[in-house]
Structure 1
Amino acid sequence: MHDPDNDLSDMVDTSYRAGLSELTGGLSPNALAQLYFNWMTHLSTLPGKRSELTQHAAHNMIDFGQYLTKCALDVPAEGCAHPDARDRRFRYEGWEKFPFNVYKQGFLLTQQWWDDATTNVRGVTKANERAINFTARQFLDAMSPANFPLTNPEVLDKVRETKGHNFAEGAKNFQEDIRRYFFHEKPAATEEFRVGRELAATPGKVVFRNHLIELIQYDAVTEKVHPEPILITPAWIMKYYILDLSPENSMVKYLTEQGFTVFMISWRNPGVEDADLGMNDYREQGPMAALDQVLEITGAEKVHGVGYCLGGTLLSIAAAAMARDGDDRLASLTLFAAQSDFTEAGELMLFISEAEVAFLEDMMWKNGYLDAAQMAGAFQLLRSSDLIWSRMQHEYLMGERPHGNDLMAWNADTTRMPYRMHSEYLRYLFLNNAFAAGHFEVGGRSVTPTDLRIPIFAVGTETDHVAPWKSVFKIDTLSRSEVTFVLTNGGHNAGVVSEPGHPRRHFRVHTNPDSAPNVAPDEWLELAEMKQGSWWPEWSTWLSERSGAQCAPPKSGKSICDAPGTYVMME
């Protein structure tokens, strides 16, 4: 890990870049400049591509001119370009009326041209192509006519409806958000969701605590339980109660009702004193320490391991090291939106280069951790049209506040990541893909997903921008295990929190035996069975089939305090 403390000139450079990072939101200007010049210099040596772009622009101008003429003559005209099916900015009926249809068409044609300009440029790597295309989309999204009151028909209709009071409400919303930001208060409409009351309310006890985790054991609610307990390792980038939200959508509550003994890791929110904690510390003090406690408390021989997002990656590394060393205490491994191979790790990978990682290290060096607000900004950029501009439009231009819900409240309850751990995570996994390549070391020896031999249940979600399902699916190719893969609709969080009874849910499922040849993701889609409803019962059945006969619930561990514990309350 980069350590500038012993070199004065290095410390000056690091301090300067740390200050610069506050102005750029954590994005390295050097990385962005490299992307731009890489694209521009390659494009400058491709006269054929430039000619094609010129022709494209000319055709767009002709089509747009014809569309304008038809609109002026009040002749029905079909649009020259159409928004993506997932683009909700132009769904309001007013966008089909003059002059707003013209604004929309001009924007979509410009967006179409820039998409062509930033793709298929010979010599530009696929990674750089995706990054420069993403950057162009961010600038275009900021200039969308939907973002400005005079060019947005929905806003203007709201003005007529409220006689302009929507702007007064929007100004009040903006002022309130600014105040909440500077005083570190919860976002509006989330105050009614309180941890330990409305959220994370499943009864249980904290039965173990070390510097990094509190281990929660949930109360049994059935007369008999499966002998193998479940140990859940959530990501340390999030508070654990994403899996224990309200009672009606709590995965923890659901599992206890299905006759499972459930343990949950609750991560400590690190501070400056934790800057030197690395991935090995998180593995040892996290899932490995918890596993020891679960087996000691319950007297069980094996445990069903469950990991979510980064927690799933960490648990996979721990499970691979256990398999390598002949430790057979895991009965199965379940992974929710968790990646083991990072070669296609989604849009978060767009700017992960040596320049960007070095910049992030300098930014983290200042405080000893990566701040929650900086992480939140990166995730919002992945869906800027929905999470940034659409929110500004509705809350500030139309004066409408969304109704709060448990997922919004959880999303606002942010965490931090220690300097060393996040640096190692980015370098070892994102940059070097060390785990999938067999170069990740645990205890001085390498581990790899091919060490895994236990049954695996892996869940991917259709619209995941953080862990794309085809990346999550790679565990099927990498491991030597029987893999049951589920692809559910929804995103990184909503697809996982998909309780029975949730409307409009469906999923695909298929099991690939350990002796069967590997299949590609598209081939898997053809083999998988489509089912309606939640995938939770499918998983519960899968776990039951790999568990022993039910018996009396185990004794609870010695109680330190009631769930949800103290670490989850840390800010």
Structure 2
Amino acid sequence: MRETQQEAARMLSRMAGHGHGPTAKKLAQNIERIEDLGQRLMQAFSARSLPNPGVEGPGADLFMTATGAFMKTLTEHPARMLETQVSYWAETLTNYSRAQQALAKGQLSAPEGDEPGDKRFANPLWQSHPYFNLIKKQYLTNARALREAASELELPDQVARRRVDWLTNQIVDMMAPTNFLATNPDALEKAIETEGESLVRGLENLVRDVELNGGEMVVSLADRNAFAVGDNIGTAPGSVVHRAPLYELIQYGPSTGKVHALPLMIFPPWINKFYILDLKPQNSMIRWLLDQGHTLFIVSWKNPGPELSETGMEDYIAAYLEAMDKVRDLTDQKQLNAVGYCIAGTTLALALALLEKRGDNRVNSATFFTTLTDFSDQGEFTSFLQDDFVSGIAEEVKRHGLLRSHLMSRTMSFLRANDLVWGPAIRSYMMGEAPPAFDLLFWNGDSTNLPGRMAMQYLHGLCQKNAFAGDGFEIMGQRLHLSDVKVPLCAIACETDHIAPWKDSWRGIAAMGAKDKTFILSQSGHIAGIVNPPSKKKYGHYLSDDDFANGHETWKESASFHEGSWWPRWGEWLAERAGAMVDARTPEEGLEPAPGSYVHERVG
């Protein structure tokens, strides 16, 4: 990054040296600003805590495996390796030759290419200008060569294959010419158009992000000042009716005169904050559920600091049970319906299995949003769930008592690096653009820490050992199995979800012991597939009459597609299990108005 700063300063110096008058004066001022910002940047970086190599990248074992596979292929198949190399040389020379011919003939445009569309190369100069066209073509050639070379390695198992492929893709994405000022026509044009102002604004954005994140370089995805929870997002009216060290319990005011007898409570993930379900009125699931006549409660989790480092999965399960007791007391009902989203759905399944073991039937039905309970296929998280990376997380937890939010956010972002890392960094740091005022991205950046003990239980016991789907997950004096989950249930998964792939969610639901099971497959991803109100009519969903005996592929093949949101269909399912209609319940004054205090706690 310091090299980028110096490159920007040199460029501005050259521009200033070729100009006179106001323009040269402005460029000289920009150079001074860069020098001042550079000092601030170095000071901000100095605040970073000592790096933990274990979470900065794969361990040495992966590189040794890849090197061994390369040497084996070279030894056993030298002709194939040579053929691949010659093919690469030939394509590289062709790229160069075509660009040279275009320049020699004085052509202003390069020969047309047949590359598939890539939004990184949307600028016409990538196609029309011989210089940029050569850079693009050679990058695509290099990327293809790297991926083909990786695919030909004879690796010991599928885990090694996924890790090598993941690392290869990270290198390919990182080395894209759009990530460098000298080979990004958009950034260069913007710098000339603004007389270098865009580069200075970009450096200001970089300094701001590093200062905000304690010396870590985490690009801001949204304008932090554009939204305030409780003011223009997360505004559904209600009251905090109970507060515990780990959570606040919010009861929302009714929007109908009559409500279903059984209350509905939602457990959101504590990896993020609950207001994803209440961003604004037109896409608020909370408001929609109130309009369907439900007495609605939601848990707002504490954003933990080091004082909660020893909080474990058993503490979260205990919090579930305590919150359920409070809801039952407030509504004078023996049963309730529960919803768990993502990791909160995983924990809800554990709580349901525990209640089954205890003979406690307080939960009448359960709904799971994008929930994983069977981790036999680790999917895109394979690289992060091996011993080298998990050991690095253990060291992180030992050092800080927490799995800090920036590490979790970074891991999630690099699963979609072009969209969540490189693209935003280009717009912010090279184009000098302000982060957008986008509520979903604001929520995405409002992340939380995870208690160290809970994080390691989750990683070791659930993800690595897959104990809940296997030999049993031991907690609170019981050994819990997926087959212990027997309440009527509805599960919603999302077709392009890369965090909780739908086939893996389906597999966990299939193993549960409930006789009454409904599975809905929504279009889109982990968030957009869930926050998909009927008014939008944007994403459809799939339903199947096939049971869970023949695998997810058979289920999908037999499924019928339905236009529009899955919310109304779930609403019908829920209404059938929510009891008779009674007079609406108005929440007591409580401790304070919704959205409460815990949701405002930001990590350092």
TM above 0.5, yes or no, is yes
- CA distance in structure 1 between the aligned counterparts of 2:52 and 2:569, rounded to whole angstroms: 45
Closer/same/farther in 2, CA of residues 280 and 421 from structure 1, 3 Å limit: same
Identify the match of residue 196 of structure 1 among 221, 224, 230: 230
Which residue of 1 is the match for residue 399 of structure 2?
A: 366
Match of 1:33 in 2: 60
Determine the C-alpha separation between the residues in 1 that align with 2:534 and 2:181: 41
Aligned positions of 1:401-416 closer than 5 A: 401-416=434-449
Q: Is the 8 A contact 1:339 1:345 kept in 2?
A: no
The alignment status of 1:43 with 2:70, answered yes or no, reads: yes
1:216 to 250, 254, 279: 250
Q: Out of 251, 259, 273, which is 2:285 matched to? A: 251
Task: Give the aligned partner of residue 3 of structure 1.
Answer: none
Using the alignment, how far apart are the partners of 1:534 and 1:53 within structure 2? 51
Question: SS in structure 2 opposite 1:546?
Answer: coil
Supply the AA of the counterpart residue of 2:150: T
The question of 1:344 aligning with 2:372 is answered no
Letter matched to residue 246 of structure 2: L
Q: 1:170 aligns with which of 202, 209, 215?
A: 202
CA distance in 2, matches of 1:341, 1:233: 20
SS at match of 1:331: strand
Contact between 2:486 and 2:512, CA under 8 Å: does it hold in 1? yes
Stretch moving more, 424-433 or 34-43: 34-43
Deviation at 1:455, TM superposition (A): 2.6
Check conservation: 2:52, 2:396, Cα contact below 8 A.
no
Q: In the alignment, residue 182 of structure 2 is paired with which amino acid?
A: L
Q: Which residue of 2 aligns with 1:543?
A: 574
Q: CA deviation at 1:302?
A: 2.4
1:271 aligns with 2:298: no
**SS of structure 1 residue aligned to 2:248:** strand
* Preserved contact between residue 506 and residue 534 of structure 1 (Cα < 8 Å): yes
* Aligned equivalents of 1:26, 1:284: Cα separation in 2: 32
Match of 1:458 among 491, 498, 502: 491
Structure 2 distance, partners of 1:283, 1:486, is 26
Identify the range of structure 1 (44-53 vs 354-363) with the bigger mean alpha-carbon deviation: 44-53
What SS class does the counterpart of residue 339 from structure 2 fall into? strand
Residues 530/25 of structure 1: CA separation in 2 closer, same or farther (3 Å cut): farther
Alpha-carbon spacing, 1:454–1:107, altered in 2? closer, same or farther (3 Å): same
The structure that has the greater radius of gyration is: 2
- Structure 1 residues 137-536: aligned runs within 5 Å: 137-182=169-214, 189-285=223-319, 287-481=320-514, 482-502=516-536, 504-512=538-546, 516-536=547-567
Is the deviation greater in 233-242 or in 537-546? Answer: 537-546
Instruction: Please give the secondary structure, in 2, of the residue aligned with 1:365.
Output: helix
- 1:406–1:123: structure 2 CA closer, same or farther, 3 Å change rule? closer
| Residues 198/466 of structure 1: CA separation in 2 closer, same or farther (3 Å cut) | same
User: What SS class does the counterpart of residue 332 from structure 1 fall into?
Assistant: strand
| C-alpha distance in structure 1 between counterparts of 2:200 and 2:389, whole Å | 41
Distance 1:360 1:459, change over 3 A: same
Partner of 1:122: 154
Alpha-carbon distance change, 382 to 491 in structure 1, aligned in 2, over 3 angstroms: same
**Does structure 1 retain, via aligned residues, the 8 Å contact 2:266–2:299?**
yes
Q: Which amino acid aligns with 1:224?
A: K
C-alpha displacement at 1:64, in angstroms? Answer: 3.8
1:58 match: 86
Which amino acid is the alignment partner of residue 521 of structure 1?
Answer: H
Q: Counterpart in 2 of 1:88?
A: 119
Partner-residue secondary structure (3-state), 2:443: helix
Whole-angstrom distance in 2 between the partners of 1:120 and 1:518: 36
CA distance, structure 1, for counterparts of residue 315 and residue 436 of structure 2: 40
Aligned counterparts of 1:452 and 1:54: Cα–Cα separation in 2: 56
Gap change, CA 1:92 and 1:489, over 3 Å in 2:
farther
Instruction: Measure, in 1, the Cα distance between the counterparts of 2:122 and 2:453.
Output: 45
Does the CA contact (< 8 Å) of 1:49 and 1:121 recur in 2? no
CA distance 1:236–1:188, change in 2 (3 Å)? closer
Is the 2:54–2:388 contact (alpha carbons within 8 Å) kept by the matching residues of 1?
Answer: no
Deviation, 1:43, is: 2.9
Shift of 1:216: 0.8
Is the partner of 1:494 in helix, strand or coil? coil
Provide the rounded CA distance (Å) in 1 between the counterparts of 2:152 and 2:543.
Answer: 35
Partners of 2:535 and 2:100 in 1: how far apart?
50
Name whichever of 149-158 and 103-112 sits farther off.
149-158
Deviations 1:305-327 (A, max 9, x none): 11111101000111122223332
CA gap 1:302/1:548 in 2 versus in 1, 3 angstroms: same
**CA 1:143–1:263 in 2, change beyond 3 Å: closer, same or farther?**
same
- 1:45 aligned counterpart, secondary structure: helix
Please provide the CA RMSD for this pair: 2.7
Amino acid at match of 2:85: A
Cα displacement (A) at 1:53: 4.0
Q: 1-side partners of 2:548 and 2:400: how far apart?
A: 48
Deviates more, 1:221-230 or 1:339-348: 339-348
CA distance in 2 between partners of 1:520 and 1:48 (Å): 39
Deviations 1:255-285 (A, max 9, x none): 1011111110111111212121111111112
Letter in 2 for 1:115: R
Identical amino acids, percent of aligned pairs: 33
Shift of 1:22: 4.1
Contact 1:341–1:433 (CA<8 Å) still a contact in 2?
yes
| SS at structure 2 position matched to 1:99 | helix
**Contact 1:25 1:374 survives alignment (8 Å):** no
Does the CA-based 8 Å contact 1:177-1:188 persist in structure 2? no
The whole-number CA distance in structure 2 between the counterparts of 1:296 and 1:458 is 27
Instruction: Flag the 1:370–1:26 CA change in 2: closer, same or farther, 3 A.
Output: farther
Q: Distance in 2 between matches of 1:319 and 1:500?
A: 30
Describe the superposition over 1:341-377 as per-residue Cα deviations: whole angstroms up to 9, x where unpaired. Answer: 1122332331212232222112111221111122212
CA contact (8 A) 2:311 2:453 kept: yes
Whichever residue aligns with residue 284 of structure 2, its letter is S
Distance in 2 (alpha carbons) for counterparts of 1:66 and 1:358: 46
Displacement, 1:435?
0.6
Contact 1:298/1:555 (<8 A) preserved: no
Q: Distance in 2 between matches of 1:173 and 1:502?
A: 34
2: CA distance between counterparts of 1:248 and 1:535?
16
Q: Deviations over 1:200-255 (max 9, x none)?
A: 21111111222211111111110111122111111111111111212222111111
Under a length normalisation based on structure 2, what TM-score does the superposition of the two structures give?
A: 0.84
- CA shift for structure 1 position 182: 4.3
Between the two proteins, the alignment pairs up a number of residues equal to 545
Higher mean alpha-carbon deviation, 522-531 vs 262-271, is at 522-531
